[in-house]
Amino acid sequence: MPNPNPFQARQAVRQRAKPGNLDELLAMLWGALEEAEAVLARAATDDLRLKSIHAISQCAGQYAKLLEIGELEARLKALEARYVA
């Protein structure tokens, strides 16, 4: 018998997923950077080298943005704590 209300089932699945945090995302991107570097080191073709270089540049840009966001969040929390106190 098909589900009479599939919308509620999909919503329940979405609610089970926990939101990530910045530190987890930074760790994931760092791992991706290391993997792309390893692929670059063992790349046998120019095509694979170019793809790894592209992946490294994309990950590095996102990693830098996330670091900046993390620093801004820390500074904002410090300012909020100073303002409240």
Torsion over CA: 74, 77, 83, 85 (sign): negative
Cβ contact 33:63 at 8 Å: yes
Q: Flag whether pLDDT at 7 surpasses 80.
A: no
pLDDT tens track for 20-55 = 788 899 999 999 999 999 999 999 999 999 999 999
> What interhelical angle do 46-84 and 22-42 show, nearest 10?
160
The mean pLDDT value for 3-22 works out to 74
Tell me the average pLDDT across 61-78.
93
CB–CB of 55/36 below 8 Å? yes
Per-residue pLDDT, 20: 77
Confidence of residue 12 (pLDDT cuts 50, 70, 90): confident
